[in-house]
Structure 1
Amino acid sequence: MAEQRIDVKKTYKMYIGGDFPRSESGRTYKAVDSDGNLLANACQGSRKDFRDAVKIARGAFGGWSSRSAYNRGQILYRIAEMMEDRRAQFMQELGPIGFKTSEAEADINTAIDRLIYYAGWTDKYQQVFGSINPVASSHFNFSMLEPTGVVAAFAPEKSPLLGLVSLIAPIIAGGNTCVILASEEFPLPSISFAEVLNSSDVPGGVVNILTGYREEIAEHFSTHMDVNAMCYTDELPKEMKKMIDENASLNVKRVIKRPVRDWYSEEAQTPYFVTDFQETKTTWHPVGY
């Protein structure tokens, strides 16, 4: 009688600079289903991985931020199109981690719709939130929004697909680049989403997705001097929040705390999530010149 075959479990790699590297440390950890059974292996990202991702995100920022708002909208819409083609793959990954069939379908549908929502805002938020300011001199005075730069974010633990997409979309819609740590407990949908990004029109380095342990990487997120802003959605331990706030002050990082209770609700999408990662630039111009 033939011996029972042992399945070869996939190792899900990280997504950095448009490539899928393993962790430089060579470490992995087990990704399990809702019953604790092994699904696959995920890379355990390190400080070096994060530093590499930030460097690449910074290099991609100039090209991405200088693209027209209309073109960024086209690219977000293209991501949504590619997600439509990957429905079966996402269904296979959401089911084992506790999503019922109807819940998985709703998660995928809402993630696609969210990308389209922010695609529509890319060429509109400037008109809505910019302004022409009255001044007591013969000058025009304009306030315009400009992207912050490199944003580091923690994806929500219990919403590994929709929550991840809901964080990434407004960040890149506004011309920023990002480094995001996927759900520690359920990392697989995030890397499948990275495969969607890789096959779409998003330039390499605009979105970088790491997997690993939040407690290990959080300090590096908050102390890196080339990170301009941070964002997290889950209620973090008090000590971690204090550490992030203190470290962020070293280079005046903007820290966005976004405790979304329901990722399907209206509170989970708003153009203000785009402006959270924008800086206001005011310019003066003499009248008549």
Structure 2
Amino acid sequence: MSRLTIPKTYKLYIGGKFPRSESGRTYEVVTKKGDFLANAAKASRKDARDAVVASRAAVSSWSGATGYLRGQVLYRIAELLEGRRAQFIDEIVASEGVSAAVAGQQVDAAIDTWVWYAGWADKYVQVAGNGNPVAGPFFNLSTPEPTGVVAIIAPQEPTGVSLLGLASVVAPALVSGNTVVVVANEKAPLSAISLTEVLATSDVPGGVVNLLTGSPAEIAPWLASHADVNALDLTGAGTLDWVDMQIAAADTLKRVITPEPGVPAPSLERITAFTETKTVWHTKSML
């Protein structure tokens, strides 16, 4: 007997839960040839606001964790990705139309990206901070601290970036203790949504990562102007009117990373881009 197939409808990931869009909207995710794969939730302005609220609520606990603990949590993500490698390869092959070998390279690169940034979690402060030479009997120390809630537009290229692109922009923001609201690759969101299932079953606290699927052109302007977002990563917004978003972000003094093509390479600069430097003076003992 033939049976009726049940198409999967992927949901958003907000505050550690998987809600539908408050608007009830979905859109079809298709292959490069136009064949149907699944339905994905189409996030609205209200969903973006809810994600910011969840992200803000998680800032204190995540930023208050030790660098060592954050590194262990990020490394756990890599471990779970490794265990589900075959699933991610299949999803990338289906949605991006690449070979299994090419998809495997992207998954491996994404795993390596999480591991690379995990290693910096308890080390970047020593490299980015310093003791400053000053006149007088004082210690003068500068140390980086997380900026808070970071809104991110993930790379939107049609192939080769759906999972790796997400890892390359989310992982560095998490290293220092920021929380994120990220808009996934619109055309190929399946691996990004599956990554949220990894996050939900790993040690990442709810609200630290919030993922929205749908149209970046619709969601990004509201994130750029949101007063409770502290920084804005426009890496994947190159085809959008990103200059207006940058202007909107300036109204609330957000730190902004402008668009760039492809996938950003792992770097210490990606970590420190979302930190603020605190300088402390302390009198030296005269004894």
- TM bucket normalised to smaller: over 0.9
Q: 1:281 aligns to what?
A: 278
Q: Give the match for residue 253 of structure 2.
A: 252
Structure 2 residue aligned with 1:196: 198
Which residue of 86, 89, 113 maps to 1:88? 86
TM-score scaled by length of structure 1: 0.94
| Cα distance in 2 between the residues matched to 1:235 and 1:154 | 6
Q: Taking structure 2 as the reference length, what is the TM-score of the superposition?
A: 0.95
The 5-angstrom pairing of residues 136-155 of structure 1 reads: 136-155=135-154
Deviations, residues 235-285 of structure 1 (Å, cap 9, x unaligned): 5246x1121111001101111125153x3xxx6111111001000111101
> Residues 122-137 of structure 1: matches in 2 within 5 Å?
122-137=121-136
| Aligned partners of 1:183 and 1:211 also within 8 Å | yes
Give the AA of the match of 1:212. Answer: G
- Counterpart of 1:156 in structure 2 is 155
> Alpha-carbon deviation of 1:234?
3.2
CA contact (8 A) 1:149 1:177 kept: yes
Corresponding residue for 1:52? 50
Pick one of 263, 268, 284 that aligns with 2:265: 268
Secondary structure of the 1:268 match is: coil
Alpha-carbon shift at residue 88 of structure 1 (Å): 1.8
1:71 is matched with 69
2:39 pairs with 41, 64, 88, which one? 41
> Aligned-pair RMSD on alpha carbons?
1.4
Q: CA deviation at 1:137?
A: 1.4
SS, match of residue 245 in structure 2: helix
AA aligned opposite 2:5: D
> Unaligned regions of 5+ residues in structure 2, if any?
none
The one-letter amino acid of 2:70's match is R
- Partners in 2 of 1:234 and 1:57 — Cα distance? 20
| Equivalent residue number for residue 118 of structure 2 | 119
1:209 alignment counterpart: 211
Once the two structures are superposed, what CA deviation does each residue of 1:136-182 show, in whole Å capped at 9, x if it has no partner?
11111001000000000011113110000111111101100000000
Match of 2:22 in 1: 24
Q: Aligned-pair distance for 1:99?
A: 2.0
- Number of the residue aligned with 1:167: 169
Residue 288 of structure 1: SS of its match in structure 2?
Answer: coil
- Mapped partners of 1:253, 1:220: distance in 2: 13
The answer as to whether partners of 1:155 and 1:183 remain within 8 angstroms in 2 is yes
- Checking the alignment, whether the CA contact within 8 Å between 2:90 and 2:100 is kept in structure 1 is no
| CA distance, structure 1, for counterparts of residue 236 and residue 41 of structure 2 | 22
Q: Distance in 1 between matches of 2:261 and 2:118?
A: 21
In structure 2, C-alpha distance between the alignment counterparts of 1:128 and 1:148, rounded to whole Å: 18
| CA–CA distance in structure 1, aligned partners of residues 37 and 7 of structure 2 | 7
Aligned residues: 282
Structure 2: how far apart are the matches of 1:111 and 1:166?
Answer: 8
Residues in 2 aligned to 1:142 and 1:216: alpha-carbon distance in whole angstroms: 43
Contact 2:234 2:242 (8 Å CA) reproduced: no
Superposition misfits of 4+ residues, deviation over 3 angstroms: none
For the Cα contact (< 8 Å) 2:59–2:149, is it kept in 1?
yes
